[in-house]
């Protein structure tokens, strides 16, 4: 088991290992004085792991209530958010109780935002069950729901009290969803760690789960410690995302987040080589690792379509978009790019 401390506006542990769901109840009682735990989950995860979570909590003496919403990004909206708040209020959950997010990034983002706002803030625990949630969304306190105008447009920075990552839950992930998470794992290698990149390039999908997930969490911990509120260095985590969001939106969300990030990463990498920011070897290494993990590197969408979406990206500031561009493996630059230059940069990478 790996135990990583995150010390930001709140200090908490990220525990990563097999069988950790069994200790959920004991973890909650050691963290807070809750008498009730509210589990929020989705319709795929709850049948697989709801009972184990519930049993662990009740055997630690807690009353358990649960709210399960239909799986998928379509549920990450204001209607479901309000339904959950009303459910908690009707069940008289108090500030000393706690909430458990049992699921992937959708459950984690939604539950985190519920926890940030219910009674002006209540403790919550992330129990990530996808690779993406384990290495990225469960750590760092970004919580959100989607609005009609775009993804993650309403939310809060609100850190969890604990992240409990039971590696056994990853065994039921459909391979395609596992690959989506791999795009984020590869992202950490490109951004910060050439040894991690080399390990992934050697092992492919068979990479050692605990070691690699722990390394990604350590890297995310370091970034979030440096820039909790996303005003500087944390923006690098957006590698592949600005163009990737355009791919997601342009495909009407038929291309998943992870695959869109892979395509976005490939586009900025090809453009980076053409602009002389990275060399050909770096470009080939990045395209090869994406292919090794079965991730796509191209889109039929045009630069015009991708550019329009980039303009609505949250990382935009007045008159420019902060593009994250690879220089070498393990090093990427934040490049504030005038909006009128973004389209030609994307065009160069298609
Ligand atoms: P997800 O939560 O929708 O999970 C993907 C699918 O896998 C769902 O159908 C889910 O029900 C199913 N699933 C989850 N765990 C399972 C398991 N163990 N076995 C079988 N099926 C399982 O999607 P995701 O990829 O985990 O997360 C994507 C979301 O995360 C997006 O909304 C994105 O915006 C958000 N995100 C947030 C951050 C952040 O920092 N907060 C970072 C990256 C992504
Ligand atoms: N996943 C992006 C971030 O946490 O900043």
Tens digit of each residue's pLDDT (9 = 90 or more) over 267-285: 999 999 999 999 999 999 9
- Cα distances (angstroms) measured from residue 29 to each of 73, 91, 156, 305: 31, 20, 26, 50
Residue 251 vs residue 109, higher pLDDT: 109
Distance in angstroms (rounded) separating the CA atoms of residues 216 and 289: 17
- Residues 235, 223: Cα–Cα separation, whole Å: 9
- pLDDT confidence of 88, banded at 50, 70, 90? very high
Q: Sorting pLDDT into bands at 50, 70 and 90, what band is 252?
A: confident
Helix axes 303-311, 339-349, angle to 10 degrees: 140
Please report which ligand is nearest the Cα atom of 132: 1
For ligand 1, whether the C-beta of 248 sits within 6 Å is: no
Q: Is the pLDDT of residue 238 over 80?
A: yes
Domain ranges for the chain: 2-172, 175-349
Q: Examine the pLDDT at 198 and tell me if it is beyond 90.
A: yes
Which one has a higher pLDDT value, 249 or 335?
335
The atom of ligand 2 lying closest to the CA of 136 is 1
Q: Give φ, ψ of 316 to 5 degrees.
A: -80, 140
pLDDT band at 315 (very low <50, low <70, confident <90, very high): low
Alpha carbon distance 301, 297 (integer Å): 12
Ligand having the closest approach to the CA of 176: 1
Q: Give nearest CA residue, ligand 1 atom 21.
A: 173
Q: What kind of architecture, by CATH, is found in domain 175-349?
A: Up-down Bundle (1.20)
Mean pLDDT confidence for 48-66: 98
pTM (2 d.p.): 0.96
- Measured on CA atoms in the order 223, 224, 225, 227, is the torsion positive or negative? positive
| 2-172 CATH, one of 2.70.98.40, 3.20.20.370, 2.60.40.10, 3.40.50.1970 | 3.40.50.1970
Backbone phi and psi for residue 17, each to the nearest 5 degrees, phi listed first:
175, 180
């Amino acid at each position: 088991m790996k135990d990583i401390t995150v010390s930001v506006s709140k200090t908490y542990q990220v525990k990563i290992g097999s069988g950790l769901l069994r200790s959920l109840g004991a973890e909650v009682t050691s963290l807070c004085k809750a008498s009730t735990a509210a589990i929020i989950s989705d319709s795929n995860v709850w049948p697989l792991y709801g009972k184990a979570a519930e049993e662990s909590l009740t055997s630690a003496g807690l009353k358990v209530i649960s709210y399960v919403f239909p799986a998928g990004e379509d549920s990450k909206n204001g209607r479901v958010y309000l339904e959950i708040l009303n459910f908690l209020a009707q069940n008289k959950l108090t500030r000393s109780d706690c909430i458990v997010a049992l699921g992937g990034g959708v459950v984690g983002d939604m539950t985190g935002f519920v926890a940030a706002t219910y009674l002006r803030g209540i403790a919550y625990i992330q129990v990530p069950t996808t690779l993406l949630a384990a290495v990225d969304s469960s750590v760092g306190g970004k919580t959100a729901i989607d609005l009609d105008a775009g993804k993650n447009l309403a939310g809060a920075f609100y850190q969890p009290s604990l992240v409990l990552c039971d590696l056994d839950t990853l065994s039921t992930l459909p391979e395609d969803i596992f690959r989506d998470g791999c795009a984020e794992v590869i992202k950490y290698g490109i951004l910060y760690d050439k040894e991690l990149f080399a390990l992934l390039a050697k092992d492919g999908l068979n990479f050692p789960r605990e070691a690699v997930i722990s390394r990604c969490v350590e890297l995310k911990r370091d970034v979030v410690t440096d820039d909790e509120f996303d005003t500087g260095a944390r923006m690098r985590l957006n590698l592949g995302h600005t163009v990737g969001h355009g791919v997601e939106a342009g495909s009407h969300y038929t291309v998943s987040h992870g695959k869109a990030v892979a395509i976005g990463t490939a586009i900025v990498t090809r453009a980076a080589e053409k602009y002389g920011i990275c060399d050909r070897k770096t470009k080939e290494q990045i395209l090869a690792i994406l292919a090794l993990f079965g991730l796509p590197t191209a889109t039929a969408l045009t630069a015009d379509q991708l550019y329009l979406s980039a303009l609505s990206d949250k990382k935009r500031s007045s008159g420019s978009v902060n593009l994250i561009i690879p220089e070498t493996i393990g090093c990427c630059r934040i490049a504030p790019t005038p909006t009128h230059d973004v389209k030609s940069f994307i065009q160069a990478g298609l």
